[in-house]
Structure 1
């Protein structure tokens, strides 16, 4: 299978249920499979790859696939079986828009409805809408909510406009993923009245595409091209093969790295250090997926210095993980020493374990155990030899008499740290982290760019890992991106909270970037925030209050969060899509809802309005004198 075929398969699997939007918008005719193919046809052109994609969408249900009499190597067979694995049911007969009991007006339910193993009533429900960071936060509500065909029609129109702006075949998989996220995040995957509609169409489609690309790579590695036999005629036999590889990664040493800061300028230092670890991890993930020939479609979860990704269980994929991990840790040793370490673990698994199985939780448990073992055995013999050799490249950079005022490591190079009034000198790493924090709080509309300089300029970026070459991360105002590109070779680009379209865009990163500003619109530091606790005359205790909100035992949630106590069907709710939607719901709250809460925006979609709390009984919500800082 070529890279082109792999991209066609990824897009086809991601868009396989697009006809559900068209069906619920009362547009076109036929089943949702037929409507989806009809909708996409004008945007693909009359090419072999376009026709292949349309067949995947048109025949992703068993009954129609059986009648189609396709060639045995048609990608539609892979999409069909990937859909089964992602949804936890066999899609041979039941299809929305065909026979069965479906309710077009059914909204998306909160994924927490089934958390703990049994459906809890009453369910929290979401308003049907696109994903817009500037709009009110879409909290799940207890009230009666219905999804209208008019709203579905608006979502379909957004897809049309995007596909007309840039032909679908020319879009990268990451671009299609970002567009689909914008449109289908609050769309239920299924409106079958006999099922719990708590899985979003976005996440189901994303997991389907991840499974499909892994299957294709696994078959290619074995030289198998009879997809009909493996995915349709004898799919139960295939489900017992260890075709998948759950990869888990974790950055160790986060707390010490983040809180190595001085008192003065602490806010910008914390922001810079916390965000740097986040962008470092995202860049590592993208490097790993790119090396494996995959996209962010295969990323199941990332946050808090941790990630899960689904890869094919091939020798090439396993070697890629090991190679990338070794390269990352070698880079970390040379730039931050032993303070930060990337631990990685792998767990081979079968489709049966991913497909509604009692053993599904054990897959995550095995990956976690593998990560734990790796943390105990951090470095190989070559790295350990370099660590204890005073003449090695790792130790040579520390061979000097000057000490960084922040991290206290010895270095031959010191530069001014912080603002002009701070009168401190620091190593390039600490000084750069402060600059990064300053850029984060200084601009609103920015994007994050991984790039190489094409000629020398004053330092404004932070060194960051990039396989085989030097690179830095930059915080660039969107309006300055064109000028920036003239002086830099852009390798990777991320949008902050807002959608950014382009070939180099990997994904949007959600960032809690609210800051409190004074009357001159300058960002207030912690000492100024502490002063606000006094009265107008400055009387009172000048102190900060700290509210820490953390999610404990997230690993345990991935292992057993949806395992039911019902003896007959303990894994009824334990699907890969549901676990992925759970982690995404948590990320959206801590990265976007927190921004709005800090701003005093307490009204959500519909009738949701949280009454503000204040010891002074303020009647209206006001912007908070607060700084939301991620706690890893």
Structure 2
């Protein structure tokens, strides 16, 4: 895969054939040397094992009706055929699952179209020039404002609940459209990150306008215009699914461009929020008027309920109270129930969402027996982050669709509030807020698959990205001091103790790089904000977003080549990931020597000031040269590198090494790193002097409280 659209060599890694799970050993591609059986050997035993698992589970599928059977079968196919190539006669890069699902979607649309048009003949069906299909892109707009626009009193569980609610709204909206057109979930090509893609027959575009208006009327009433569903669609013909040359020269066989066109039209629809609704509903007065108490979380009017937030009671509106309850239940949940047109529910349980006739429940494993009590026109029961979803030992499957769903942060404790997470930080007490997403994703979808781009390959690429962010990220972030607020699609939002968040960002990048087979087309950028526990979370989220954007626009020259993105902004400075790794090593060494020292003696923290002074001198040298306007580009970099700062660094650090003979070796290692741009075997991307301020501030923040405590004890003893 290449963003320039070039065909690449045959892949050197493979996904082993195993039932789907979230373990790294299952979903990460392996080098040929690691494969079992080895490359070129027969895979008969692997196929046999998958078939045995599939056929045994097939006997446990619910058979209440055709819809229940087929939709549960789709999840079973995903579990056992996600790793089987759809074709072994050419490049085996499309799974049997993706191939089967997209083929079923196309077949369903063909039948629907010709049935509606009264043209169910073989010549008409084989005609690839008619615009028989619609590719629909749905996008929930206003996500950022809805999730993050809460006060500092907002609990972590409320933020997590809001995030999960948005995911449910997007997915439920897509399923509602499919139901209105009579399709199964196989026609949902993708759902994640508040966006979905559907494949429909091109028979009633006005119905899409009506459904959008119906959903948006409910969203407007519920959220006062903060959240809106945008829809965009484009027409397709059979040739758009073909590879190579289209039969009709006037119609290019270019499915990625259709994917992009649908997204562009959805973005255009975002700029016409609530178009088609009654003018008075959109622009008329809302609320009660006069002076009324407002929710202490979102500042909206309405009936309030006092909810305990640690040592204080907070007045919440119903929406915020539900969001907190949803976040709390999600942290312990193993099952999600989706009910359409509920007939029998559970009193005091469940969550209504602003999509017509749709309701959700969350259950712990110990509450699973209550699931059978739910009745509705359509009920789906999904196991969260676990593909063992069918009942065991002949237990009655009932009349519910059964499946599984990967969701970031499920069963992750949120008993701690933001203040408690902040206090888990080492040294300086700050909450770390991390936002990351994949770079150049639009270009990857448009050009990355080259001439082999097809609907199944696009769907497969979306599936793999979602598998990492919605599924595997849970395995990386399963730790006490961090909390996933959102992860899915191609991005994430995580909070936690600031020092843990920085380490986690590097780990996520390394794992994503390995997951993508170290393909340089797949990179990820992010930004970290550090805020106090009382700082409004919406502002912290905005700062992290600004930091992420700074990383996205970060350009630098490396070895004579221009690079951009593929970076993290930390302490307001964008760094390539290699430079972050070097910064981490320098920080680790400084922190260890200042905190613990060796032979009973500690390195004076004054070394941090010396290094900072050297960095500031470098910046002044650079600024002086820029102001003189005598040199530019590479010549400016070279003259700055061999300027006063270097001689000062050599002198200052050698002198400090002389005064601290126990740490002479370590201090001179730092001096050499500034000159040679390598530290403990790790080469930097840019000259280390350009970012030495990051590891020094990093180490300073880690020892800050310790220094304050020691100084306090010293002052007390002196008194």
Give the alignment partner of residue 509 of structure 1, picking from 405, 419, 423. 405
Alignment-derived partner of residue 214 in structure 2:
327
Distance in 2, matches of 1:217 and 1:398, equals: 50
Distance in 2, matches of 1:381 and 1:504, equals: 36
2:186 is the alignment partner of 1:297: yes
- List aligned pairs for 1:73-152, cutoff 5 A: 112=1, 116-120=5-9, 122-133=11-22, 136-144=25-33, 145=35, 146=39, 148-152=43-47
Report the CA distance shift for 1:515/1:176 in structure 2 as closer, same or farther (over 3 A).
closer
Give the alignment partner of residue 160 of structure 1, picking from 55, 62, 65. 55
Distance in 1, matches of 2:187 and 2:472, equals: 26
Distance in 1, matches of 2:195 and 2:441, equals: 11
Name the SS of the counterpart of 1:549 in structure 2: strand
Alignment-derived partner of residue 225 in structure 1:
120
Distance in 1, matches of 2:456 and 2:112, equals: 21
Alignment-derived partner of residue 533 in structure 1:
425
Higher RCO (C-alpha 8 Å, min separation 6): 1
- Mark the structure with the bigger radius of gyration: 2
Q: Deviations over 1:502-540 (max 9, x none)?
A: 5433753211126666xxxx7333332332322xxxxx2
Name the SS of the counterpart of 2:163 in structure 1: helix
Conserved? CA contact 1:432–1:461, under 8 Å? no
Alignment-derived partner of residue 35 in structure 1:
none
Q: Deviations over 1:437-480 (max 9, x none)?
A: 11111x1422243364858944x43321343x4x5422122442
Give the alignment partner of residue 465 of structure 1, picking from 354, 363, 366. 354
2:470 is the alignment partner of 1:591: yes
Conserved? CA contact 2:408–2:473, under 8 Å? yes
Structure 2 stretches lacking a partner, 5+ long: 244-251, 391-396, 480-506, 519-580, 593-719
Give the alignment partner of residue 301 of structure 2, picking from 410, 417, 431. 410
Q: Deviations over 1:126-145 (max 9, x none)?
A: 11111123674421122333
Conserved? CA contact 2:2–2:449, under 8 Å? no
Report the CA distance shift for 1:142/1:337 in structure 2 as closer, same or farther (over 3 A).
same
Alignment-derived partner of residue 574 in structure 1:
453
Structure 1 stretches lacking a partner, 5+ long: 1-111, 535-539, 564-570, 619-632
Distance in 2, matches of 1:122 and 1:135, equals: 19
Alignment-derived partner of residue 269 in structure 2:
374
RMSD of aligned Cα (Å): 3.3
In proportion to residue count, which structure has more strand? 2
Alignment-derived partner of residue 84 in structure 2:
187
Distance in 2, matches of 1:383 and 1:551, equals: 39
TM-score, structure 1 as length reference: 0.67
Deviation at 1:246, TM superposition (A): 0.4
Count matched residues: 468
Distance in 2, matches of 1:425 and 1:360, equals: 51
Q: Deviations over 1:325-375 (max 9, x none)?
A: 111101101111110110001111111012125533331232123213322
Conserved? CA contact 1:247–1:367, under 8 Å? yes
- Comparing 180-189 with 402-411, which one deviates more in the overlay? 402-411
Report the CA distance shift for 1:367/1:122 in structure 2 as closer, same or farther (over 3 A).
closer
Give the alignment partner of residue 315 of structure 2, picking from 419, 425, 433. 425
Distance in 1, matches of 2:329 and 2:62, equals: 35
Report the CA distance shift for 1:176/1:397 in structure 2 as closer, same or farther (over 3 A).
farther
Distance in 1, matches of 2:309 and 2:410, equals: 21
Distance in 2, matches of 1:553 and 1:384, equals: 38
Distance in 2, matches of 1:398 and 1:464, equals: 26
Alignment-derived partner of residue 106 in structure 2:
211
Alignment-derived partner of residue 237 in structure 2:
350
Deviation at 1:123, TM superposition (A): 2.8
Conserved? CA contact 2:422–2:430, under 8 Å? yes
2:132 is the alignment partner of 1:253: no
Name the SS of the counterpart of 1:599 in structure 2: coil
